[in-house]
């Protein structure tokens, strides 16, 4: 497992699965799982929340860095896809993919980014 840092402002609302963070459930409705997340590869800070949360607000209220310091992603559990928003640092995207695999995202799920991925998920992303 890649060691990650989850701020108290995030973890207090979740029943965290320490072996598989992405299998954690929302404390106030255990049918809800992680939907949006932001990961800072240098500090290993991981922020996450349920659907309806905006990345910019999550980072502003709970993060230690600036918006552009994070790789942002969305878990489409029903499609078995984790979508990473484009980031200029390709190595950060690869590091984030490794973190996801080691923290509960199964090998049967696709972790995708880039223009083709955005096109594939165009309808879902438009709703967000």
Three-point CA angle 86, 115, 71, nearest 5°: 10
Structure tokens at 81: 């896809």
Residue 51 is given by DSSP the state: T
Contact (CB, 8 A) for 35 and 78: no
pTM over 0.75: yes
Listed in order, strand segments (DSSP E) in the chain are 14-15, 25-26, 36-40, 45-49, 71-76, 81-84, 110-113
pLDDT in tens, 13-58: 999 998 899 999 999 999 999 999 999 999 999 999 999 999 999 9
List Cβ neighbours of 41 (8 Å cut-off, separation of 6 or more): 71, 91, 92, 95, 96, 99
């Amino acid at each position: 497992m890649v060691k990650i840092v989850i701020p108290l402002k995030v973890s207090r609302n979740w029943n965290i699965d320490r072996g598989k963070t992405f299998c954690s459930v929302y404390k106030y409705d255990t049918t809800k799982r992680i939907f949006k997340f932001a990961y800072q590869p240098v500090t290993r800070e991981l922020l996450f929340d349920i659907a309806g949360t905006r990345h910019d607000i999550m980072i502003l209220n709970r993060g230690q860095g600036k918006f552009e310091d994070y790789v942002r992603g969305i878990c489409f559990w029903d499609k078995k896809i984790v979508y990473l928003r484009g980031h200029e640092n390709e190595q950060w995207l690869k590091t984030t993919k490794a973190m996801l695999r080691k923290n509960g995202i199964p090998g049967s799920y696709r972790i995708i980014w880039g223009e083709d991925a955005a096109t594939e998920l165009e309808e879902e992303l438009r709703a967000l």
